[in-house]
Amino acid sequence: MAHDKTALDTRLMHTGLAEFDPVTGQAPVALPAVRTSTVRFENLDAHDRAQVRKGQGARVVTYGRMGMDTNEALENVFSQLENGTHTYLAPSGLSGVTLALLTFLSAGDHALLSDNVYGPVRHLDDAILKRLNIEITYFSATDELGALIRENTRVVYVETPGSLLFEMLDIPALAKITRAHDLPLVVDNTWGSGYIYRPLDLGAQVSVIAGTKYVGGHSDLLLGAVVTNDEAIARRINATQYALGYAVSADDAWLALRGVRTLPIRMAQHAHNAMKVCEFLDARPEVLRVFHPAWPKDAGHALWQRDCTGSNGMLAAHLDVSVPAGRAFVDALTLFGIGYSWGGFESLVQFVDVKSLGGHTYWGEIGSERGVVVRLHIGLEAVDDVIEDLRQAFERAQAAG
C-alpha cells in the first residue's frame, strides 16, 4: 500500500478506523470485528469478478479464512510498521516463521539460520524440517556467511536482536551477501516490531513479527505476521499461506488493532524503565554483564545506534551466583511473573543455568561457565518499584548462598 509522509505515530492512530455510514454520517472510532466463515455473492457475475481479481493478485475475499475488513485493516497496520507492501497474517509468531520458511524450502533444500533464534524454531527444525529432508545450518555472527552457502541453499533466516542475549546482527552486511547469491533474507523482527527497527529498509526481503508481543501489548492474543516489499516473494507467501490453511480470527485482529494504537507510548516507557534497570543491575556486585543493545556497554550498541530508532523492555543479566541462589532470586520476585512471553504490560522473568548452554554459541557470548542468566522483560509498573523488587530478590539470593 502507499505510504504518506505523515509520521508513523500518526498513521498508526488513523489506519483501520471505521468508515462513516453513508446514510447517517456516523461512525465509531474503532473498526468492528467483522466475523464470518462464509462470504456471499450477490450474483454469479460478482462471484466471477472476484475470482478474476483474486487471480490477478488482489486481496479479494472469497472465503472467510482470509478475514474481511478487520483483518485487512491489521494487514495495513503491519505494512505501515514495516514499510512493506504486502502482509500475511498467521495464528502465532511461530506459525509466521513456519510460513516464511516453507515459502522458500522444499525437500532436499538447505537453509542458513542464525544460532540465536527463538527456541521453538529449533523445534520446528527437529520436528518438521528434518522429516521433510530439509537441512539447516546454524551460524553465528562471527562466521563467514558466504562460505556456508551451498548450491541447494534457498533462504537465510536470522533473528536480531537475538532471543536470549539480544545480539545485534549487521543486516545490511548480511543482505549484501544474500543478494549477491540471489537468496532471500528473512528476519524475525519481533523485538523491533517494525516500530523501532525495520529490516526491510536495511536490505531484508521478508520480516516476521509475533504480534503476540508488543503489537498486542496486553498478553491476551496470539498472532503472527509476515511482511515483504517484494512482489514475486509476496505471490509465493500468498500461495503458501493459502495452502497451509492459516486463519486469524477477527477478534484477535481487533485486539491487535486496539493494542497498536498505544504502541508508541508503551514502547517508549518500556525502554525508559529497562534503561533504569540496566543502571541498577550494572552497579550490583552479583551481575557480571548486562545484555541490552541500547545499553552503552553492550557489544551490539554501535549497531543499535546505527540501525534502530528506539528500544524496548527486553534485557538479560549474567549473575555470578549459584544455581540455588539464582532460583531463590527468581522465586523472590513479586512483580515479575515467570513466563516465556514478553511485550505485554507486565514484567516477566526467565531463568537459565549457564551450564545448560554448554557447546552453544551463547556460552562464548557469556564468557564464563559459572552462574545463571535471567532474561527480564521490564513492564510498565513504576520503575522504582521494579528496582526495589529486584533489590530484595538479590538479598534473598544472598541468604540462599
- Report the catalytic residues: 65, 118, 188, 213
Of residues 208, 401, 363, 378, the one with CA closest to residue 295: 378
> What residue has cell string 503489537?
215
The helix (run of H) or strand (run of E) holding residue 250 is helix 250-260
CA 293 to CA 170: how far, in whole Å?
13
Q: What angle do CA 56, 59, 64 make, to 5 degrees?
A: 125
Instruction: Produce one character per residue of 229-243: b if its CB has 16 or more CB atoms within 10 Å, e if not.
Output: bbeebbebbbebbee
Distances (CA, A) of 186 to 99, 155, 295: 11, 7, 26
Strand order, beta sheet including 314-319 = 287-291, 314-319, 372-377, 347-353, 336-338
Burial of 310 (C-beta count, 10 Å sphere; 0-12/13-18/19+)? middle
Q: Mention every residue, 6+ apart, whose C-beta is less than 8 A from residue 57.
A: 234, 235, 238
CA 50 to CA 65: how far, in whole Å?
16
Of residues 124, 118, 75, 103, the one with CA closest to residue 248: 75
Helix axis angle for 383-399 and 323-332, nearest 10°, is: 140
For residue 147, give the C-alpha cell.
562460505
- In eight-state DSSP terms, residue 67 is -
Q: Mention every residue, 6+ apart, whose C-beta is less than 8 A from residue 105.
A: 111, 129, 132, 134, 154, 155
Terminal Cα distance for the chain, rounded: 58
